[in-house]
Chain A
């Protein structure tokens, strides 16, 4: 691979506006389209404890009307031009992404700016949206994977840690959110400081940055921005488990894991490689080979490392027949134990490194892929030459580094485990 062709300092333009917005752009002339993506520090981590779901509600309300444009006007403008724009609440950030034909970039940025800065939170729209959110939450209550994931978070991040709360809230918490809550959250957290905007597509980089500047440079905020509250998460001192019985289900979902490293941790790449070997490489790594391929216990069984600005989870996720839950848990724990005992083989590490480095051309094939990579560079301060340095960063990770990183977080005897599904056969609960 020719690293000079990867996005880097030679072709990514970067400009920090006086109001604190970091804008980045790279040209991709091959299709007549453009994407924008980015984020602001307005995620659910700022939800007050009794207002779970506030950040997500606020983000979803931004495109429901501004003081200049009502709901219909916003969406007519987007859809009649074949464009799309979404804003959604995440854990740390509110993030946005949009897409249009290249000539419509100013329109897209204008709509983004208007909706971030001037949302009207019109009462009728707030109520309409509330009903849609509550319906969506009730539907998710029926999703075994969602329910298991939520229970896992509450177990792995206890004692009021913000990661332990359900990001979208609950039907009850969303019902309690008032329009005043939304207005106040917006006033406090929607702020150009810390905001990142990335533009990739058939637009010259400086032209794209000029367009960002025209749309957003005059946005100022007076209050000091709230610091990002990202507490660390201690290692679990004991195993915590929860089983959630869900009538009428055929399959059980289970999530087993621990708080993991942040994206900024020095051992990030080593942990990421460990995770890849354990539950991603090939058909879901060692865990997939054992649980799915060798024993046929599950349709899916894999591990995942979230990273992010804080101690995101490192977890194994599996969908299994209820009769196989215990066997699956035992098999997953055995694989974790085996990995912590002996670490990766040298062949496994060579293979996973080859994949990490070799996948760049596919990841960077389209505008979204390039924009996502640039957003990560800016968000985590990786430097614009990160992709040029990437292969050597990965190559430098040793087998001992991978083993150390795994031992630092994983433990087959101390973990959080949540299972959601029909009552387990033989547990005495059946038919109750």
Chain B
């Protein structure tokens, strides 16, 4: 092997900025991520979608780098940049030929404190974001996910969509956006990660030069609206124009830092197919649900999802009902299959297979510096970066008893929300005044 890889090193600057560095000398590229501990989880009613909108505004310029200049600066050196807003975080990254990583460090240091939030740009972006939501609304499954999640969470802000409710997108003001930025975009509320072909000591010096003077801010307010225990199954029906029915099943699941999370990840792998943090997914045609639903010609596709979250979230199963079949018959078959697993019908061979698949998926995930840097930042936010680094060893330690026990405790009807998308033929539903 000519490519040298180091362990992750972690530093915390005096202003509270957490820094993770990992040298990977397999290709002449490097990725720089800055993740802020703010997402839709931190939003209150009336301001839903504000974190995502702030993310957009951070591409609208600073005094030093006016809007548009950075897209061009990055492309000139052959790099890419982007950002994403999720439930628990907002993250920005650049991946560049390694000799240009200094550009990424400067961009993120600058917009951590100097984004303009020009009122005209805020208004132009309002229509772009409304358009983004309308684009999502074109998809039947967007409505199904939104409504099912809203039913699954009554109190916790996971209730509302990351893009925000349309009502709020019409009314959020420039000053609210700026206040959100001022509250959460602080070094002590951020994680910065570099992975790639650089010298760590030299890079750390550059980071200190650019970031250590950024002032610490007051700690952002904690999220206090804990979701109360669920008291019985909840059901949701979404009826809209469409050509297919879908079932979205969402069980209450623990937060990523909880020891049960990885046990439930094994249940997910056995039921709906292998996917691993940091890796690709592979086919799921030998999974329990594929065999029970797709091979029996009840469904056209099935997938599972367990999202690593800061607060307890959901383990979900999404089924596309096959043309000519009904959601009722698919739901029955789905329930029968889940009941087998929750009754403890899981074999050692299935557990071993899930572990082996995860090892291969992790090997694939180490090819790209962008993916590795994302996962280090993401994991640092919800559990500490070692959650990612130690994933395979923790998975290896999971026993069959633990998997059976987790399945029995989490796959309970009383702890789930069942969402159905039912296509209807008639045209537009009645429009409300807007």
Contact = CB atoms under 8 A, between A and B. Distances in A.
A128 interface: yes
29 contacts: A31-B364, A31-B366, A79-B282, A79-B286, A79-B353, A80-B286, A81-B356, A82-B358, A83-B282, A99-B364, A101-B363, A131-B324, A132-B322, A142-B138, A142-B140, A143-B138, A248-B427, A250-B134, A251-B135, A292-B128, A293-B124, A294-B124, A298-B131, A299-B128, A358-B77, A359-B78, A361-B98, A362-B96, A365-B369
A84 B280 contact: yes
A147 to B, nearest CB: 10
Contacts of B273: 79
Given A247-B241, A251-B138, A354-B76, A138 B285 contact: no
9 tightest Cβ-Cβ pairs between the two chains A and B: A358-B78, A82-B360, A282-B71, A248-B241, A30-B26, A250-B134, A296-B124, A135-B300, A138-B243
A86 B282 CA distance: 10
B286 A72 contact: yes
Nearest to B320: A135
Nearest to B300: A135
B28 A319 contact: no
Interface string A361-400: 1101111000000000000000000000000000000000
Interface in B246-282: 273-274, 280, 282
Contact of B76 (A80, A82, A144, A351): A351
Contacts of B243: 138-139, 141-142
Interface residues of A, number: 73
A355 B131 contact: no
Contact of A78 (B2, B139, B241, B282): B282
B361 interface: yes
B390 interface: no
A211 B82 CA distance: 40
Given A80-B353, A135-B323, A365-B369, A250 B138 contact: yes
A348 to B, nearest CB: 9
Interface residues of B, number: 79
A131 B300 contact: yes
B195 to A, nearest CB: 12
Nearest to B80: A362
A61 interface: no
A360 B78 contact: yes
A250 B429 CA distance: 12
A319 B28 CA distance: 36
A337 to B, nearest CB: 22
A297 interface: yes
B283 A319 contact: no
Interface in A289-328: 289, 292-300, 319-321
Contacts of A83: 282, 360
A251 B137 contact: yes
A250 B59 CA distance: 26
A283 B67 CA distance: 10
Nearest to A33: B363
Interface string B347-385: 000000100111111011011110000000000000000
Nearest to B5: A30
Contact of B134 (A30, A79, A321, A355): A321
Contacts of B280: 84, 99
B233 interface: no
B110 to A, nearest CB: 18
Contact of B125 (A82, A99, A296, A364): A296
| Residue among B80, B274, B286, B364 with most chain A CB within 10 A | B364
A67 interface: no
Interface of A: 1, 5, 29-33, 71-72, 75-76, 78-84, 86, 99-101, 127-128, 131-132, 134-136, 138-139, 141-144, 171, 246-251, 281-283, 289, 292-300, 319-321, 351-352, 354-355, 357-362, 364-367, 422
B29 interface: yes
Contacts of A144: 138
A281 B125 CA distance: 20
A71 B72 CA distance: 49
Interface of B: 1-3, 26-29, 59, 67-68, 71-72, 75-80, 95-98, 123-135, 137-140, 240-244, 273-274, 280, 282-286, 294-295, 297, 300-301, 320-324, 353, 356-361, 363-364, 366-369, 426-429
B27 A136 contact: no
| Residue among B126, B284, B356 with most chain A CB within 10 A | B356
Given A79-B282, A357-B78, A366-B27, 13 more contacts: A30-B3, A75-B286, A80-B286, A82-B358, A142-B244, A144-B138, A250-B134, A281-B71, A293-B67, A294-B124, A298-B131, A354-B75, A361-B27
A354 B323 contact: no
A321 B130 contact: yes
A299 B131 contact: yes
A218 B300 CA distance: 36
A132 B78 contact: no
A296 B127 contact: yes
B321 to A, nearest CB: 8
A281 B131 contact: no
B68 A282 contact: yes
Contact of B75 (A76, A134, A351): A351
A331 to B, nearest CB: 14
A135 B357 CA distance: 29
B3 A358 contact: no
A303 to B, nearest CB: 15
Contact of B78 (A31, A78, A361): A361
A83 B244 CA distance: 31
A139 B95 CA distance: 35
Contacts of A281: 71-72, 75
Contacts of B71: 281-283
A149 B274 CA distance: 33
Contacts of B364: 31, 33, 99
B28 A5 contact: yes
